[in-house]
Each structure stands twice: as C-alpha cells, then as structure tokens.
Structure 1
Amino acid sequence: MNIIADQSVIDAVVLEVEDPAAAAAFYEAAFGLGDRLRVRESAAATSGFRGYILSLVVAQPGTVDSLIGSAVEAGASVLAPAKKSFWGYGGVVQAPDGAIWKIATSAKKDTGPFTREIQDFVVLLGVENVKATKRFYVDKGLRVGKSFGSKYVEFDTAPSAVKLALYGRRAAAKDAGVAAEGSGSHRMAFTGGAGAFTDPDGFVWEAADA
C-alpha cells in the first residue's frame, strides 16, 4: 500500500551502538546534529562495510576541516583525508561505533569566515540494485528528486531533517575508502512517517513513535 508523500519525511537516523552514552557524547562533540541523530544500545553482529555512508554537506572547506577536526579529536579515525577534487572538497572519517561519515562541500575555497553549520544531512545507501530499490521507495510514496539511471538516486524528502540517496554498494564503498565486503546488521534505522518496513537491502524503517 502506498503512502502519501508528506508521510515519507525522515525524522531521524538511529545508530545502534554498544555504548550509547559514549556514542552520544562523541556525536555531540563531533557534529552537534541534535535530534536528527539518535543512538540506542545493540550488540548485533556486523563486520566490514555496513552498506551506508552518513554525509554532511556544508558551505565551504573551512567547515569541512572544522567538523573533521572535532570528530578526530573526539575519537574518530580518518579513512580519507580532506582534499580538493573535481566536485569540491571533502573527507571521510569513521566514528568509534563504526559508522562512516563523509563531510563535504561543492566549494573549493573559503569565501568568508566559516561556521559549523550543516546544510544537509544525507544518508547514502549502498544498494545491490539501484533501479529496483528506487522502485521500492517510489512505491512507498517517496518522490525522486534526482536520478542518474542505475548509478545514483536522490529522493525529495522535504521538509525532512534528513535526506535519502541511493548509490551502488561497490561505488559507495569506494567513495568511503573501504572494501565493499560486509555482513550482518546494518546497525542503522530510520524513523519517520513512512511506517514500519524493511527495504530490499535490509535497511529498517520504524514508525515515528517507535
């Protein structure tokens, strides 16, 4: 049964961690995402790449460096040092709980004093079949914002606090700087108006009041 578009808003991303107090302290110090990111205790088995990247989009390189710096100071490890590329400037870190974070901007140089403001919080799912997973989410009522065939899909979840995008699993792993192999729990869930279901790649959605 389809849901209407405004029910597809994502309220928060929930990370399952072994030590919720330590994870909450890390994320507050590193990024300060507030209610958009939640943690809860779990000892579910997982290994290798968990199949997703949490991406923070910011205005300029100084903000990228500031957020990566605070994450590393709080205990994150660097997977890909921040650097310029043809698309902008960014780097990748791994949190102590194992989640992978990419902090990036389309700007290649600072144009003024930087802040720590995060423009967009995007969850990039690395999926086995982009077209099939796209169809699944469209059937759930999500609108496609951008689509590049079987390569990349970004959904229009406005006015959501969190955005959702799809990428091929191997391409996502390469972007994160890790091997694509992995198994077990994703240790991540969404909460929002879409109700409770599991997508074709095993990512779990929960009702907003779960």
Structure 2
Amino acid sequence: MTEKTVAPAVKIGLELGPVFLFFLGYVTTRGQIYTIGGTEYTAFILLTAAFIPLMALATFVLWRLSGRLSKMQLVTLVMVVVFGGLTVWLNDDRFFKMKPTAIYGIFALLLGIGLLRGQSWLELVMEGALPLTHDGWMLLTKRLALMFLAMACANELVWRSFSTDMWVNFRTFGLPVALFGFFLLQARLFERYKSGTE
C-alpha cells in the first residue's frame, strides 16, 4: 500500500481516541458489577474487553489511511491484545494495569540495546522524521530510553500503590502529558543538533 499523509488531528484522534473512550466509559460505570453467564465482572473488565477491538479498529483505520504503521504502533497493539486478553480471560484487572509498564519497559530495552550497539533505533523507527544529526539522534535516544524507563516505573508505582480511579486518571492524562512534556523539553536539542548546523 502506498504511504499517504494523514492529518495530524486524525492521527492523534485514532491513537488516543480509544484511551479517552475507555476513560469516559470508566468514569460513567465505575463501581458497577455485571453478571454474565454466572460470572461477575467489574465495569473495568468489560471496558477492557471493548477496548481491545476498538484499539485494533483504530489501528486498522490508521493503516488504511496512511498506508503504514510504525513498529511502536504494532508493539502497542500486540501488548493491548495480550494484556487486555489476559485481563478479560482471567477476570483480573492487574494485567491491563501492567500493560503500560510492559510497553514502556520494552521500548526502553530496545532503545538501550540499539545504543549499546552504537545505533539509534529511534532514528530507524522514525525514519528521519526529525532533521537531526547522528549525535542528535543518539542523545535523543538516550533521553527517551530513560524517559520510557521512568514511565514504566511510575506506572508500576501508581497501579500497585493507589486506587483504580487514580490509575485510570494517571494512564489517561499523566503518561501522555509526561511524554508530550518530554518532547517539549527537547527543543534545545532539536535546535542544536539540527541537520546542517554542524
């Protein structure tokens, strides 16, 4: 399929839409218990069951519109299916809460392996989306690997130490805002290591 340009608002909507729909569903149904086939399920479990196909559909639509998916999008979808599936199958919300830890941990590990090999796998994944020199990509990769590791640790701390309400808010707003803030703070790096400035 030929790669096409997708409007940024549409791309963001498809990537974050399922997360916000999960949040809205949780806020309106939290604390409710549903009995299906003689088994009790919390609203969280049923929302997770709905989130899996919704995330798959959003990813499919993004692929149809753009003609491609990044490796990060594919890894995220696989983790949603695996951890979400375990959550529903075992009727245990801990697996879904562990999903961000696994995703960010895997990203940190992969970027770290690339760095140990003297490569910026982030540059390969982003396919030159940013006009950075090799040194710039290496520094950004180091920082992002540490950021992903910090986010994985923060997710573990929050889901293990606080209520489900707190975790849902943290997952919906805290983690995306932290990642957005991270990239805003890299403005000096982008300027200093812009291709053609060295």
Give the number of the structure with larger relative contact order, counting CA–CA contacts within 8 Å between residues 6 or more apart.
Answer: 1
Q: TM-score, normalised by structure 1?
A: 0.30
Greater share of strand = 1
Q: Rg larger in 1 or in 2?
A: 2
Q: TM-score, normalised by structure 2?
A: 0.32
Greater share of helix = 2
